[in-house]
């Protein structure tokens, strides 16, 4: 079968031929290996060049070649530059290592998952799931059958006597909602105006990231419907995936969007069914075996999610279930896949309004929906109907309406004046304000999605504008340690008294009446100064989580941020009595003001006892990678626990590397503290510092290497696994400012990254005590 070299996905009976960009090659290669293919020999990246279908090392590639027969080899990698298209890499992976294929089986009566599938009296597979969905023309079983043991149209026996016919697994969903739903396609239309889009060159990075995220969410609606109808979380094969994406693109074409959007945003293999992600879950039956028939999703995501309170509860439930799945799977690199499965399950199985409902699309899939004008049309229709009833009725309605309008306006003005008076009365000496809920509603435009900033520690954050024009950040508390409003108010007492230029200032709080919502619980809000430049993580890496390309931080900016954080922590540890320990120092909890100066946020996790002593708790709150080992394992919280987290943040800033590197080939390089320490001990300092910092055009513009090395060494010292060897935050600050010398970096004990401490499954989370997830509740991982 001759194939012309180009960019795309081509499938043959003998194997996959994947042609893709270098950036996508490695991830797709790993995904294919996960499907069971075995690389040839010990070197999966052995370079071969192909001429007319035969391996011929050293030969140039012609325009066409044949897909080789199975079993000749398992993997072929073509060098860049050997053939047409300088940005193309081709990989051929045969079906040799893939022993089974997923088929649909049309049956006349229900079948049980686990039932055997037989052909001519020989068992060839098992049923994995069964559906009688409304879009299935008749009952459909799904099962894996040994490759070449059956083909489409063959007759099979399920169990003892149920007859069935082998069919391709259908995609039991549709994309009509893409045209019906009022989703915002503005980000994708921006791409349409880019002249180079059609040939794959320069694309606006920010628009591309936002557009692709919108499209992935839209595609997820159909995937949730497919899950509901087939019990499958993903699509059965690459052919079906490519076909579905093509149909999805046709709907986008109808909206006058670029005809190659999906080729930029999607890779068909990412939607293909595989047992090698997220706790080996493939079907709803697998989900039930792992988590049971009922989870917090069933109670948190069942209702109408257009209500913001219900939406917040559903989101919180989703994060809890995701953490349960990660704990079961044991591999944190699957966290994205587990969250994806959680979203599909909540939308397709749990919510009673279905994946295409407005609440599900806006809340679970985070699709930006434009306001529907239908209600306005109905309003005008009602007015014309009343007019037709007679002039007398109309006049009476106008008079009555005028009176009601005047009365409501008078009451509203009176309420505003009363609220202003109450606020002034409740103004505390330390300037913290007790806001009324109505004030926060007005400030955030009724907690509109357009004002949604993100999820912070123990809550969600909205941008708001107070009556005087001041921008604020309003955090709605979703989960916390507080057992009642008195304890919450006690917390506010502590935070509102903390005033330092390197801490995010608390402006006030709000506790609603218990009767405001159905569950009879008070809602709690904290109001902070708004930080216009977001958090440190948004600027620390070249591309942030939204796919937006960021200008890298300069050395002066990085230096100031590190010093600012150190000063903020020093104030919490030594500037107030009793001392306050943050417990969750990380890049996302460091906010940047208009001058790019750092302020520490979310320091409200601490509580104060009535005796006035700082509350030390065995309940761990924090984030993996940043947690000090003694705190993660034993709940032993001291000032040195914050110092460890601070050291990790310093390393992130100086190295330009995330705290956890899931792409690392070595367990010793997985955690940034292990990686940086080993490199420095080996004398490879330049390999540790961010390349942007050490790359200079001339000596005049060169950054001061000695100072950068000092900051790096302080970070390594602060993040030492042994508590006694860490400095206090005051000593660390003195080292950073050059007032005292940085001591020699001590050795680390063997358990960190030592091969003897790996578990049998090879889970890299066992290499460091700081990463042990067995010692803490899964819910704490959300913080």
**Of the candidates 232, 230, 218, 233, the residue with the CA atom closest to the CA atom of residue 134:** 230
Instruction: CATH number of the domain at 509, please.
Output: 3.30.200.20
**Which of 324, 342, 364 represents a domain boundary (last residue)?**
364
- Per the CB < 8 A criterion, the answer to whether 655 and 692 are in contact is no
Phi, psi of 706 (to 5 degrees): -60, -40
Least confident of 224-228, 445-449, 661-665: 661-665
**Which of 473, 506, 529 represents a domain boundary (last residue)?**
529
**Does residue 464 share a domain with residue 398?**
no
**Does residue 642 share a domain with residue 778?**
yes
**Does residue 638 share a domain with residue 565?**
yes
**Does residue 724 share a domain with residue 773?**
yes
- Structural domain includes residue 124: yes
- Torsion angle defined by CA atoms of residues 138, 144, 148 and 151, in that order, rounded to the nearest 10 degrees: 10
- Per the CB < 8 A criterion, the answer to whether 94 and 37 are in contact is yes
What pLDDT digit, counting tens, does each position of 464-489 carry? 999 888 999 999 887 655 556 777 77
Instruction: Put residue 51 in one of left, alpha, beta given phi > 0 → left and psi -120 to 50 → alpha.
Output: beta
Q: Is the pLDDT of residue 345 over 50?
A: yes
pLDDT band per the 50, 70, 90 thresholds, residue 60:
very low
- Structural domain includes residue 12: yes
Task: Give the N- to C-terminal CA distance of the chain in Å, as an integer.
Answer: 54
Return the structure tokens found at 774: 């067995």
The confidence score (pLDDT) of residue 457 equals 58
Question: What is the tally of structural domains in the chain?
Answer: 6
Q: Is the dihedral of CA 367, 373, 378, 383 positive or negative?
A: positive
Residue-range definition of the domain harbouring residue 412: 374-425
Scanning 104-185, the segments in alpha helix (DSSP H) are 177-180
**Mean of the per-residue pLDDT values for the chain?**
70
Give the angle subtended at the CA of 368 by the CAs of 365 and 369, to the nearest 5°.
105
- Structural domain includes residue 172: no
What pLDDT digit, counting tens, does each position of 266-299 carry? 877 788 877 768 888 888 888 988 898 788 898 8
Ligand-binding annotation for 476, yes or no, is yes
**Does residue 568 share a domain with residue 495?**
no
- Structural domain includes residue 488: yes
User: What Rg value do the Cα atoms of the chain yield, rounded?
Assistant: 30
CA–CA separation, 424 and 318 (whole Å): 40
**Of the candidates 365, 377, 255, 268, the residue with the CA atom closest to the CA atom of residue 311:** 365
- Per the CB < 8 A criterion, the answer to whether 139 and 109 are in contact is yes
**Which of 167, 200, 220 represents a domain boundary (last residue)?**
167
**Does residue 565 share a domain with residue 689?**
yes
- Structural domain includes residue 307: yes
Instruction: CATH number of the domain at 143, please.
Output: 2.40.30.110
**Does residue 240 share a domain with residue 382?**
no
CA–CA separation, 32 and 724 (whole Å): 47
**Does residue 313 share a domain with residue 226?**
yes
- Structural domain includes residue 88: yes
Mapped onto helix, strand or coil, the DSSP state of residue 460 is strand
**Does residue 228 share a domain with residue 159?**
no
Enzyme catalytic residues: 584
**Does residue 113 share a domain with residue 50?**
no
Average pLDDT value for residue range 601-612: 51
**Does residue 49 share a domain with residue 35?**
yes
Higher-pLDDT residue of 283 and 30 is 283
Q: Is the dihedral of CA 306, 309, 312, 314 positive or negative?
A: negative
What pLDDT digit, counting tens, does each position of 556-582 carry? 999 999 999 999 999 999 988 888 888
Instruction: Put residue 521 in one of left, alpha, beta given phi > 0 → left and psi -120 to 50 → alpha.
Output: beta
Q: Are strands 89-94 and 15-20 parallel, antiparallel or unpaired?
A: antiparallel
- Structural domain includes residue 451: yes
Instruction: CATH number of the domain at 767, please.
Output: 1.10.510.10
Average pLDDT value for residue range 246-253: 88
Average pLDDT value for residue range 625-639: 81
Q: Is the dihedral of CA 746, 691, 709, 597 positive or negative?
A: negative
**Does residue 222 share a domain with residue 266?**
yes
- Torsion angle defined by CA atoms of residues 272, 278, 280 and 286, in that order, rounded to the nearest 10 degrees: -100
């Amino acid at each position: 079968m001759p194939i012309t070299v180009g960019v795309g996905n081509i499938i043959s009976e003998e194997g996959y031929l994947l042609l893709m960009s270098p950036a996508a090659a490695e991830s797709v290669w790993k995904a294919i290996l996960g499907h069971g293919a075995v690389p040839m020999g010990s070197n999966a990246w052995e370079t071969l060049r192909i001429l007319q279908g035969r391996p011929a090392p050293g030969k140039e590639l012609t325009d066409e070649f044949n897909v080789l027969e199975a079993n000749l080899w398992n993997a072929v990698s073509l060098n860049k530059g050997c053939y047409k298209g300088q940005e193309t890499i081709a990989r051929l992976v045969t079906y040799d290592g893939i022993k089974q294929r997923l088929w649909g089986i049309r049956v006349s009566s229900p079948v049980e998952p686990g039932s055997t599938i037989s052909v001519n009296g020989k068992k060839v597979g098992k049923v994995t799931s069964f559906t009688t969905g409304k879009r299935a023309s008749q009952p459909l079983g799904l099962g894996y059958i040994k490759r070449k043991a059956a083909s489409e149209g063959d007759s099979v026996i399920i169990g003892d006597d149920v007859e069935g016919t082998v069919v391709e697994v259908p995609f039991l969903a549709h994309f009509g909602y893409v045209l019906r739903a009022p989703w915002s396609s503005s980000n994708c239309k921006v791409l349409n105006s880019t002249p180079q889009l059609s040939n794959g060159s320069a694309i606006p990075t920010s628009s591309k990231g936002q557009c692709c995220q919108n499209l992935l969410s839209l595609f997820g609606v159909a995937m949730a419907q497919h899950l509901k109808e087939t019990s499958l979380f993903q699509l059965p094969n690459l052919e079906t995936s490519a076909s579905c994406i093509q149909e999805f693109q046709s709907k986008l074409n109808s909206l006058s969007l670029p005809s190659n959007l999906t080729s930029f945003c999607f890779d068909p293999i990412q939607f293909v069914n595989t047992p090698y992600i997220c706790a080996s879950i493939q079907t709803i039956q697998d989900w039930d075996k792992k988590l049971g028939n009922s989870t917090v999703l069933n109670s948190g995501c069942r209702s109408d999610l257009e209500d913001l309170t219900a939406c917040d509860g559903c989101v919180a439930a989703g994060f809890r279930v995701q953490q349960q799945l990660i704990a079961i799977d044991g591999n944190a690199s699957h966290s994205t896949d587990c969250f994806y499965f959680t979203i599909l399950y909540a939308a397709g199985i749990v919510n009673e309004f279905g994946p295409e409902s407005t609440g599900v699309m806006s809340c679970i899939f985070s699709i930006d929906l434009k306001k529907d004008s239908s209600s306005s049309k109905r309003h005008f229709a009602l007015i014309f109907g009343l007019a037709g009833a007679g002039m007398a009725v109309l006049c009476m309605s106008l008079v009555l309406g005028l009176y009601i309008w005047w009365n409501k306006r008078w009451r509203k003005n009176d309420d505003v004046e009363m609220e202003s008076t109450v606020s002034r009365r409740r103004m505390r000496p330390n300037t913290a304000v007790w806001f009324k809920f109505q004030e926060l509603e007005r400030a955030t435009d009724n907690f509109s999605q357009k004002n949604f900033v993100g999820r912070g520690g123990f809550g969600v954050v909205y941008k708001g504008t107070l009556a005087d024009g001041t921008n604020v950040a309003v955090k709605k508390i979703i989960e916390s340690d507080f057992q009642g409003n008195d304890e919450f108010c006690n917390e506010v007492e502590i935070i509102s008294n903390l005033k330092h230029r390197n801490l995010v200032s608390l402006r006030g709080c709000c506790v609603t009446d218990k009767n405001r919502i159905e569950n009879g619980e008070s809602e709690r809000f904290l109001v902070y100064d708004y930080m216009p430049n977001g958090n440190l993580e948004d600027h620390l890496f070249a591309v942030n989580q939204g796919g937006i390309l960021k200008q890298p931080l300069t050395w002066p900016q990085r230096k100031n941020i590190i010093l600012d954080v150190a000063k903020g922590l020093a104030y919490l540890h030594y500037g107030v009595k009793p001392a306050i320990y943050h417990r969750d120092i990380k890049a996302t909890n460091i906010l940047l003001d208009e001058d790019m100066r750092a302020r520490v946020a979310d320091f409200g996790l601490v509580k104060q006892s009535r005796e006035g002593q700082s509350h030390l708790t065995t309940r761990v709150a924090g984030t993996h990678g940043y947690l000090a080992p003694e705190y993660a394992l034993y709940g032993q919280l001291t000032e040195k626990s914050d110092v460890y987290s601070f050291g990790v943040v310093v390393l992130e800033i100086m190295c330009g590397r995330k705290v956890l590197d899931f792409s690392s080939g070595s367990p010793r390089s997985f955690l940034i503290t292990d990686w940086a320490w080993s490199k420095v001990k080996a004398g490879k300092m330049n390999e540790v510092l961010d390349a942007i910092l050490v790359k200079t055009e001339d000596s005049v513009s060169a950054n001061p290497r000695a100072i950068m090395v000092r900051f790096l060494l302080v970070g390594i010292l602060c993040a030492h696994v042994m508590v006694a060897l860490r400095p206090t935050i005051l000593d660390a600050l003195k080292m950073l400012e050059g007032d005292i010398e940085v001591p020699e970096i001590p050795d680390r004990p063997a358990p960190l990254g030592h091969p003897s401490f790996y578990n049998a499954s090879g889970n890299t989370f066992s290499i460091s005590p700081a990463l042990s997830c067995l010692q803490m509740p899964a819910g704490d991982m959300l913080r």
